[in-house]
Structure 1
């Protein structure tokens, strides 16, 4: 039997925020994978090392967590007022599935630096020193992200003193603006920021009960519930949730029923094919706890506590898109996030997560009886970890 040799594809492995992913320029992909479809999905699955029944992704670039099983495809943007199109794929670890239904807010921090370093912006747009503003079209959800990337000596500055809880080493700060982050009916999110028309709903979940919930489409579709209503304090770390199979099953049930209520799916059985969205998060008022790094987080340092699940597991820090949802919900009086933070109108919150704290801001206004959010803001960092080529067997995808 003849075996096809491996092919190599130009790629870069980057950390963005508290995530890592394999980045490609669209033009560098094999021709069959330059279009959405089975060939592209099969290629990315093989690059990342999925599906892996062992759950380790040993034979690929993935790191066997939702934060490290990711792929990004970038191309110059033909959309007026934008520099680059950004497409994100969340690669399932144990099944042959790539979820294109949402964005990755953490890897959004790496899009601008990658675009600059790989010639996707005209050279005259990049200053010798200062800040390069990159306007990004987030193709998964049809939204604009503006990245402010530091430049030193004509090159992206990656090292610096900016510290991000959940990332061991400091780096250069990349400020991000998520413009009009709420769903306005043109995306895949049920038609509005609050798809039920309410800032708080009673969500009936068979086997769990009726939960107070804020269902919001901002950054990424997210279901917020109160920690106390599901038996938690909001200070939990990963092991407390991820080592409890019954707890994970309950969260998945909440997620599935919340997805139906938000109009994201028609039947709970569809949730298995939409693993990336919606997210489930639980909130609580401030309390002191010890973060996963051993760092003490004092109640006085935060406005509220938030824990969120991604791809069926408690996230080790906080997804960037969920942080956008947190900042947006916190800015709107009456949501569970806002109430956990003490209520009232606010433009920013600092919340505690398993790895420490994060500050996120949002600009919200009440217009015509409806809340509108013009932007959410937060800072991340990004760094190239490796660049060159990835190799995959030549028969990994249909030609």
Structure 2
């Protein structure tokens, strides 16, 4: 039997927000993987441990959830007045593909720290004590993101007392600003409507707000699909019929948003769009046992990622939530009480999150100028990841 040797690739394992992933510098990848294509995808699949029919990713760095099956490649900036290029790859758990169609807002919080530690940011722009501003070019969606990284004694500060629901331990606060967060080059509301009638065979006709902000997202009313908006992961992820329904909705919504041409294409675009459902505030108990009161939030939101209910909230989906909440008449805005707003606090399975967003009408079209949220990030391990030579 021929034995394939293992190669060593410099890598850093990082948590960003409520996600974690394997970070690489482009120049450290094997030469064949330094350009987009099969060699790169195969490398990242093997690093994470996919495809895995057992859906455990035991033989890789993945954690068998959408939040932990992630990779990041950072490179020298291709755009002026930026510090680093950030490319995100969402690795499928049980299928042999990497989805490059969107961003990860949670891991964005770790990109700034990695950029500083990796030498992408000029030393004269890093204070001895204070905040370092890192301008990130998000290469998947071609947008600018600004991360503000706390610095202590000339080094990135990772520990602190900032608490983020969905993350067990406190850490240093990282403020992330998503500039002009509409995803891609098209309209923020691709159908031209704030609310559409979305026809889904086998489900019915549902009211839906479909928005490209942060990440393409389909918002539904919870009660239209038989939910309360206070569900936790086990309420949905253990129900194959429910998951099939959400995937059916996602596929038909993707067609209506113009992201794919046919519902069959949705299977090869798992990362986008997201599906979320909203409800008016009510009391519930989070997955950690924390009591969330109706008065603590403006709206309840639950979102699915890679076919499963997310344990907290994707960072990019949080941008979509805040942006939709800022536009009077969307389902998110109406569930939050309607009217004008520049921020929203929403309840998710792990607790609550506040996100700010600004939106305005320009020539009859809604546009978002920026969205702001606080996250945290930390290096978990650094060195080399080993993979069999493919």
For this structure pair, what is the TM-score category when the shorter chain's length is used for normalisation?
over 0.9
Deviation at 1:159, TM superposition (A): 0.2
3-state SS of 1:164 partner: coil
Deviation at 1:363, TM superposition (A): 1.1
How far does the alpha carbon of each residue in 1:285-341 deviate from its partner, in whole angstroms, 9 at most, with x for none?
000000000000000000000000000000000000000000000000000000000
| Partner residue in 1 for 2:347 | 352
User: Aligned partners of 1:309 and 1:335: how far apart in 2?
Assistant: 19
| Partner residue in 2 for 1:182 | 182
| Partner residue in 1 for 2:66 | 66
Return structure 1 stretches of 4+ with deviation > 4 angstroms. Answer: none
| Partner residue in 1 for 2:325 | 330
Of 288, 294, 304 in structure 2, the residue corresponding to residue 299 of structure 1 is 294
How far does the alpha carbon of each residue in 1:350-378 deviate from its partner, in whole angstroms, 9 at most, with x for none?
00000000000101122332222100000
Deviation at 1:78, TM superposition (A): 2.7
User: Aligned partners of 1:9 and 1:124: how far apart in 2?
Assistant: 30
3-state SS of 2:165 partner: coil
Q: Output aligned runs, 1:230-269, within 5 Å.
A: 230-269=225-264
1:211 aligns with 2:206: yes
Structure 1 unpaired stretches of 5+: none
| Partner residue in 2 for 1:54 | 54
| Partner residue in 2 for 1:10 | 10
3-state SS of 2:255 partner: helix
2:210/2:218 contact within 8 Å kept = yes
Structure 2 unpaired stretches of 5+: none
1:217/1:325 contact within 8 Å kept = yes
The alignment's TM-score, normalised by the length of structure 1, stands at 0.97
User: Aligned partners of 1:369 and 1:69: how far apart in 2?
Assistant: 40
Deviation at 1:162, TM superposition (A): 0.4
Deviation at 1:4, TM superposition (A): 2.4
Q: Output aligned runs, 1:88-103, within 5 Å.
A: 88-103=88-103
| Partner residue in 2 for 1:371 | 366
The alignment's TM-score, normalised by the length of structure 2, stands at 0.99
| Partner residue in 1 for 2:23 | 23
| Partner residue in 2 for 1:342 | 337
User: Aligned partners of 2:258 and 2:78: how far apart in 1?
Assistant: 31
| Partner residue in 1 for 2:114 | 114
Alignment RMSD (CA, Å):
0.7
3-state SS of 2:167 partner: coil
| Partner residue in 2 for 1:34 | 34
How far does the alpha carbon of each residue in 1:75-127 deviate from its partner, in whole angstroms, 9 at most, with x for none?
11031111100000000000101000000000000000001011111212211
| Partner residue in 1 for 2:387 | 392
3-state SS of 1:365 partner: strand
3-state SS of 2:322 partner: helix
3-state SS of 1:177 partner: strand
1:76/1:121 contact within 8 Å kept = no
3-state SS of 1:305 partner: strand
User: Aligned partners of 1:168 and 1:4: how far apart in 2?
Assistant: 39
Of 192, 195, 203 in structure 1, the residue corresponding to residue 190 of structure 2 is 195
How far does the alpha carbon of each residue in 1:40-86 deviate from its partner, in whole angstroms, 9 at most, with x for none?
00000000000000000000000000000000000110311111000
| Partner residue in 2 for 1:154 | 154
1:281/1:308 contact within 8 Å kept = yes
User: Aligned partners of 1:216 and 1:6: how far apart in 2?
Assistant: 44
